[in-house]
Structure 1
Amino acid sequence: MIQKTAEEMAREHKEISISQFFEKNRHLLGYDNKTKALLTIVKEGVDNALDATEEAGILPDIYVKIEELDREKYKIVIKDNGPGIVRRQIPNIFGKLLYGSKFHRLRQSRGQQGIGISGCVLYSQLTTGEPTRVISSTGDGKTHKYEIKIDVNRNEPVILKEEVVEDDEERRWHGVQITFIAEGIYREHKQSVLEYLKQVAISNPYANIVFDSPNGRIEFVRGVDRLPKEPKEIKPHLYGVEVGIMARMIEETKARSLLTFLITEFSRVGKTSAEEICKKAGLDPKIIPKKLEHKDIVNLVHAIKEVKLSRPPTDCLSPLGKEFIEKGLKKELNPEFIAALSRPPEVYRGWPFQIEVGVAYGGSITEHSLMRFANRVPLLYQQGDCAITKAVSQIDWKRYGLQGDKMPEGPVVLFVHMVSVWVPFNSESKESIASYPIILKEIKLALQECLRKLSVYLSGIRKAAVIKEKKLIFEKYAHDTALAIEELTGEDKEKIKNLLMQIVQKRWSEVEEESEKEGENNGEENPKPTENNGSEGESEESGS
Structure 2
Amino acid sequence: MERKAEDFARQQREISISEFFEKNRHLLGYDNKVKALLMIVKEGVDNALDATEEAGILPDIYIRVKEVKNERYEIIIKDNGPGIVKKQIPRIFGKLLYGSKFHRLKQNRGQQGIGISAATLYTQLTTGEPLEIVSSTGDGKTHKYRIKINVRRNEPLIIDSGIEEGVDWRGVQLRFLTEGLYREYKQSILEYLKQTAISNPHARIVFDSPNGRTEFRRGVESLPKEPKEIRPHLHGVELGILTRMLRETKARTLLSFLTGEFTKVGRKTAKEICSKAEMEENKKPKSVKDEDARKLLEVIKDVKLLKPPTDCLSPLGNEVVKEGLRKELNPEWVESITRPPEVYRGWPFQVECGLAYGGSIQEPKFMRFANRVPLLYQQGDCAITKSVTGIDWRRYKINGKRIPEEPLAIFVHLVSVWVPFTSESKEAIASYPVIIKEIKLAIQECARKLGLYLSGKRKHEYHQHRIRTFERYAEETIKALSELSEEDRERVKREFLELINSNNNKITEEENGGAKEAEKPGEERDGPDREERKSKDRASRQVTLERLLR
TM-score (norm: length of structure 1):
0.95
Quote the offset at 1:478 in angstroms: 3.6
Secondary structure class of the residue paired with 2:412: strand
- State which of 389, 395, 404 in structure 2 corresponds to 1:399: 395
Aligned partner of 2:211 in structure 1 is 215
2:246 pairs with 1:247:
no
Aligned partner (choices 501, 517, 521) of residue 513 of structure 2: 517
The correspondence of residues 29-108 of structure 1 with structure 2, limited to 5 A, is: 29-108=28-107
CA drift of 1:481 comes to 3.2
Per-residue CA deviations over 1:385-406 (Å, capped at 9, x if unaligned) read 0000001010001001111232
> Secondary structure in 1 aligned to 2:178?
strand
Aligned to 1:474: 470
Equivalent-residue separation in structure 1 for 2:160 and 2:481 (angstroms):
98
Is 1:359 the equivalent of 2:362? no
Q: 3-state DSSP class of the match of 1:90?
A: helix
Q: 1:434 matched to which residue of 2?
A: 430
Q: Does 1:387 align with 2:383?
A: yes
Q: Deviations over 1:359-394 (max 9, x none)?
A: 011011111011000000000000000000001010
Q: Deviations over 1:340-375 (max 9, x none)?
A: 111000000000000000001101111101100000
Kept after mapping to 2: 8 A contact 1:124/1:180: yes
Say which of 475, 499, 505 aligns to 1:503: 499
User: How far apart in 2 are the matches of 1:521 and 1:281?
Assistant: 57
In structure 2, the residue corresponding to 1:305 is in which secondary structure? helix
Output the CA distance in 2 between the equivalents of 1:58 and 1:350. Answer: 32
**Cα distance in 2 for residues equivalent to 1:412 and 1:524:** 25
8 Å contact kept, 1:383–1:389:
yes
- Mapped pair 1:455 → 2:456: no
Which residue of the partner structure matches residue 533 of structure 1? none
The change in CA–CA distance for 1:409 and 1:238 in structure 2 (over 3 A counts) is: same
SS for the counterpart of 2:517 is: helix
Secondary structure of the structure 2 residue equivalent to 1:99:
coil
525 and 163 in structure 1: CA distance in 2 versus 1, 3 angstrom threshold: farther
Q: Structure 2: how far apart are the matches of 1:186 and 1:467?
A: 50
Q: CA separation in 2, counterparts of 1:311 and 1:335?
A: 38
1:3 maps to 2:2: yes
Say if 2:424 is the partner of 1:415.
Answer: no
Residues 376, 417 of structure 1: 8 Å contact kept? yes
**Superposition deviation, residue 291 in structure 1:** 1.1
Q: Secondary structure at the match of 2:159?
A: strand
Amino acid at match of 1:140: D
Q: Secondary structure at the match of 1:417?
A: strand
Provide the rounded CA distance (Å) in 2 between the counterparts of 1:138 and 1:299.
50
Q: Counterpart in 2 of 1:539?
A: none
Partner of 1:136: 135
Q: Which letter does structure 1 place at the counterpart of 2:140?
A: G
Look up the equivalent residue of 2:350 and give its one-letter code. Q
2: CA distance, partners of 1:28 / 1:133: 25
Name the Cα RMSD after superposition: 1.1
What is the CA distance between 1:470 and its match in structure 2?
Answer: 1.7
CA deviations 1:172-210 (Å, max 9, x no partner) are: 111000001111000001111111011101110010000
* Cα pair distance change 1:524/1:41, threshold 3 Å: farther
Extract unaligned runs of 5+ from structure 1.
527-544
The answer for the alignment partner of 1:113 in structure 2 is 112
Q: Secondary structure at the match of 2:302?
A: coil
CA distance in 2, matches of 1:478, 1:67: 64
Matches within 5 A, 1:129-528: 129-167=128-166, 171-524=167-520
Q: CA deviation at 1:234?
A: 0.3
Partners of 1:478 and 1:75 lie apart in 2 by: 68
Structure showing greater Rg: 2
Q: Deviations over 1:29-76 (max 9, x none)?
A: 110011100000000000000000000000000000011111111111
Structure 2 Cα separation of the partners of residues 59 and 486 of structure 1: 71
Given that residues 371 and 414 in structure 1 are in contact (C-alpha distance below 8 angstroms), is that contact kept between their aligned partners in structure 2? yes
Letter in 2 for 1:39: L
User: After TM superposition, which residue ranges in structure 1, 4 or more long, deviate above 6 angstroms?
Assistant: none
Q: Deviations over 1:300-329 (max 9, x none)?
A: 111111110000000000000111111111
Deviations 1:431-473 (A, max 9, x none): 0000000000000000000011111111111000111112223
Offset of 1:524 from its aligned partner? Answer: 4.5
Q: Unaligned regions of 5+ residues in structure 2, if any?
A: 523-550
Contact 1:456 1:523 in 2 (8 A): no
Between the aligned partners of 2:284 and 2:60, the Cα distance in structure 1 is 51
2:363 counterpart letter in structure 1: E
CA offset digits 1:70-98 (Å, max 9, x no partner)? 11111111000000000000000011110
Equivalents in 1 of 2:185, 2:21: separation in Å? 28
Cα separation, 1, equivalents of 2:45 and 2:411: 20
C-alpha separation between the residues in 2 aligned to 1:449 and 1:144?
Answer: 51
Distance of 1:28 and 1:413 partners within structure 2: 30
- Which residue type is aligned with residue 22 of structure 1? F
Which is worse superposed, 128-137 or 283-292? 283-292
Q: Which amino acid aligns with 1:99?
A: Y
Aligned AA (2:18): S
Aligned partners of 1:232 and 1:315 also within 8 Å: yes
* Secondary structure, counterpart of 1:461 in structure 2: helix
Cα separation, 2, equivalents of 1:298 and 1:416? 39
- Cα offset for 1:525? 7.7
CA distance in 1 between partners of 2:299 and 2:160 (Å): 56
C-alpha contact (below 8 Å) 1:237/1:267 kept by paired residues: yes
The CA distance in 1 between the partners of 2:240 and 2:364, in whole Å, is: 45
Shift of 1:256: 1.2
Looking at structure 1, the residues matched to 114 and 168 of structure 2 have their Cα atoms a distance apart, in angstroms, of 30
Distance in 2, Cα, partners of 1:267 & 1:278: 17
Contact 1:452 1:523 in 2 (8 A): no
Deviation at 1:508, TM superposition (A): 2.0
Task: Give the AA of the match of 1:454.
Answer: L
Superposed displacement of residue 123, structure 1: 0.5
Report if aligned partners of 1:372, 1:380 keep a CA contact under 8 Å in 2: yes
Distance in 1 separating the partners of 2:4 and 2:25:
34
User: In 2, distance between residues paired with 1:81 and 1:486?
Assistant: 77
1:12 aligns with 2:8: no
Superposed displacement of residue 282, structure 1: 1.4
